Amino acid sequence: MEAAILAGGLGTRLRAAVPDLPKPMAAIAGRPFLEIVLASLARKGFSRIILSLGHMAEKVVSHFGSSFEGMDLVYEIEASPLGTGGALRQALARASSDHVFVFNGDTFIDLEVLELEAFWQTHRLPTIVGKNVADTSRYGRLEMIGGHVVGFAAKGMPGPGLINAGCYVLPRSALDMFEPGRAFSLEADFLVAAVQTQPFALFSTNGFFIDIGIPDDYLRAQTQLAGIVS
């Protein structure tokens, strides 16, 4: 199996906590967050990872090199910021499989990978991983009809619900309609429109989920992730 990890953002909200590192290299219990993510993917059977990098890319490359725990690492480095969509467009062009798991570099999710792979093989539809949380206000909610994602409610709505966990399974050709090198948002410029014009399946996970993108959650991860990955 093959995955792409979007790890090139500037990480402005977390910069005060980790001013000299790219956000995915922030230490969690003494270990780089991205290393924890990669170790989890290795245990789950991935063999090839495409790392989409930008800000301080050299710190990631020098730390990991060309392989990690039996997985081949391929680097796609932005010359200028491309947004999540533009970065993924370039990463997918490096893929060797017909479909790719996509993860955010600041999110850990203990995903049921083999179940999701079987789900993809059965349905062959672009798939969004959803997660039920107690408060959706930070993330926005997924809008569903008949097992398909049809929309994304705005952030700020409190209360429990199903959120986009920032993980997808996409065909390698999913973003081919965008010009290579164009900067765009995966969410705002692709997904919002795409779910209206083609079926997107939902895979709901029960796995542990945490996003270290803000300081409060970064601090929370120090204890919660330490117990999971030890």
Q: Which DSSP state fits 139?
A: T
> CA–CA separation, 112 vs 105, rounded Å?
18
109 has which bridge partners? 209
> Would you say domain 2-128+166-175+206-229 falls under CATH 3.40.50.300?
no
Number of Cβ within 10 Å of residue 49's Cβ equals 24
**Kind and range of the H or E element at 49?**
strand 48-53
pLDDT by residue for the chain (230 residues), tens only, comes to 999 999 987 656 666 666 678 889 988 988 999 999 999 999 999 999 999 999 899 999 999 999 999 999 999 999 999 999 999 999 999 999 999 999 999 999 999 999 999 999 999 999 999 999 999 988 889 999 998 999 999 888 889 999 999 999 999 999 999 999 999 999 999 999 999 999 999 999 999 999 888 888 888 899 888 777 65
- The residue behind tokens 């499989």 is 97
**Kind and range of the H or E element at 43?**
helix 33-43
Radius of gyration of the chain (CA): 17
Q: What count of Cα atoms within 13 Å lies in the side-chain half-sphere of residue 202?
A: 23
Q: Are strands 127-133 and 201-205 parallel, antiparallel or unpaired?
A: parallel
